[in-house]
Structure 1
């Protein structure tokens, strides 16, 4: 027998054996439960996988729908929660006014509002006696001259310009006293808080007048320039002589009182429209709902008169050879 014929017989024999083996396996008792209903192993497995895949798809669709619903609900809740923080941090509890309405300001809180003391003496003037007093006085007078030329009687823009500068001394003085308190491990007598409150109060003046007068581009550029120069000059001046620095601010506030008095005169004479007070001013100074610009200028002028007295008092304390920490700071604005 040739080798080709022997190979052919061997293949036929192996094929028959394999058919008998797989046939026996398919009809074995262990496999019969899978064949119930006339289905083969492959059909049952495909049906099982299809059912499993369908169930999984339904589960995924349900989860997606639930996630979408939760997202929509979350978006709705976010729209209802007011973001009343500079950093955008949401508060779980909304702030409200005394009448129960929602508080909408993020730059100050309801307990930081106050009623200005409008009975303060507006005519008070510190007569310069020493050489430092005279230098401080004439320095402020020389600064007023270009301001009068630039703004003339546009008191809204003039007030905005003044407040960007007036908010600098309190911050610089409070910062330097804070650092000295840390270096010397000593109390400040409340002066750090008093000066920082002054800076914050002046900043709120600015936020108010921004609603009244919209600055032009060159006025904004002037603010940046003046503030940059004044901050550095006052910083080094306070390091050299705090009593001189406070005296300068005292005279600056005297000029501010004078400027706001002229502002009020033009409002009373009808040269400037006495428009309704900005909402931020009504809430900050606890003004009546029908308050006008005249009411706002009146309370701002009272604040400036208070700053005048505080800074002249601080300079007097230094003149007496005392440290501010040894003399309690005057009562604040609240």
Structure 2
């Protein structure tokens, strides 16, 4: 026979499970197995139901609730799958209220397919610029800059030889670095000193973006091999850090280096054009991205692309030599307005 203490414990736990409803211990008379009558205690709830029955009812209710949730979940998944099959276009609205702008159209009414640049960022290159201009190194710093660039040309010539498509791709991965690196110190200086930049931050960023678009164009022309991609990683890592250090130590030296780099780029693209004109390199149709970016005619060829890219490099040459000259005169770049929009 169970002790009264055990019934007391069971009563407490049952009361807790019933949300505070009390349990009573009733004496129930049942027939004895050997004849006669013996008295057995039984737990009964305050509502008059036996505790065992209440527990069974609670378990049954819980199981029914779980079954209902699972049925609802399964129904929801089926409806979602059905809806997913029926949906053809999903419109994503940002939680922050930022929505995609309306589709842009070209002048002929066709849809603008580029997201990396917009119609108002396109332009017609000025190919009338003087390609023969050269800044003669006079000071010791200029001579160091000049011969530094010349020394970088020899291994490039050996590696790429006359594969000018791959050479242009490699050149643009490096040429897009100085504008970004030069814009960062000017940006931070403007923030620290609460002063205007004279438009030079924007001018240098425009240069970096223009060089990047050169790369996007030549990626369509020359498919780089795996070792050329690896070389890009190595060269860009070294050049970025070296140029950043050089710009911090001497901005006039850094801009002069870029000026001479652009002169070498003009030379490379001129050789590229010679091979295109002589038939050594096939004059394939211009990539679609180049036609839209430079506003070239629909029947433009690779020769047209190289011509406008060479003109861009000549403009970058002038901008960087101009920036170096400003520093040589003992002034800051912000003291002289930047040639914004001068590709």
Query: In the TM superposition, what is the alpha-carbon distance from 1:77 to its structure 2 partner?
Result: 1.9
Q: Does 1:232 align with 2:244?
A: no
The 5 Å alignment of 1:94-113 reads 94-113=103-122
CA contact (8 A) 1:116 1:333 kept: no
1:122 to 131, 142, 148: 131
Q: Which residue of 1 aligns with 2:335?
A: 326
Query: In the TM superposition, what is the alpha-carbon distance from 1:100 to its structure 2 partner?
Result: 1.6
1:77 to 78, 86, 89: 89
**Per-residue deviation, residues 220-277 of structure 1 (Å, max 9, x unmatched):** 1111111000000000000000000000000000000010000001100000000000
1:217 to 226, 233, 237: 226
Q: Distance in 2 between matches of 1:195 and 1:73?
A: 49
Q: Distance in 1 between matches of 2:76 and 2:227?
A: 57
TM-score (norm 2): 0.74
Partner of 1:117, secondary structure, is coil
Say which is worse superposed, 251-260 or 216-225, in terms of deviation.
216-225
- Structure with greater helix percent: 1
Query: In the TM superposition, what is the alpha-carbon distance from 1:316 to its structure 2 partner?
Result: 0.2
TM-score (norm 1): 0.76
Q: Does 1:253 align with 2:265?
A: no
Q: Does 1:207 align with 2:216?
A: yes
CA contact (8 A) 1:250 1:307 kept: yes
Q: Distance in 2 between matches of 1:64 and 1:163?
A: 51
Partner of 2:305, secondary structure, is helix
**Per-residue deviation, residues 124-158 of structure 1 (Å, max 9, x unmatched):** 00011111111100100010011111101000000
Tell me: CA distance 1:301–1:62, structure 2 relative to 1, closer, same or farther (3 Å): same
Q: Does 1:186 align with 2:195?
A: yes
**Per-residue deviation, residues 55-76 of structure 1 (Å, max 9, x unmatched):** xx9x9999888756654454x2
CA contact (8 A) 2:199 2:340 kept: no
1:288 to 284, 292, 297: 297
CA contact (8 A) 1:96 1:103 kept: yes
Unaligned runs of at least 5 residues, structure 1: 4-56, 82-88
Q: Distance in 1 between matches of 2:254 and 2:135?
A: 15
Q: Which residue of 2 aligns with 1:154?
A: 163
Q: Distance in 2 between matches of 1:333 and 1:73?
A: 51
RMSD (Å), alpha carbons: 2.6
Unaligned runs of at least 5 residues, structure 2: 1-30, 32-70, 93-97
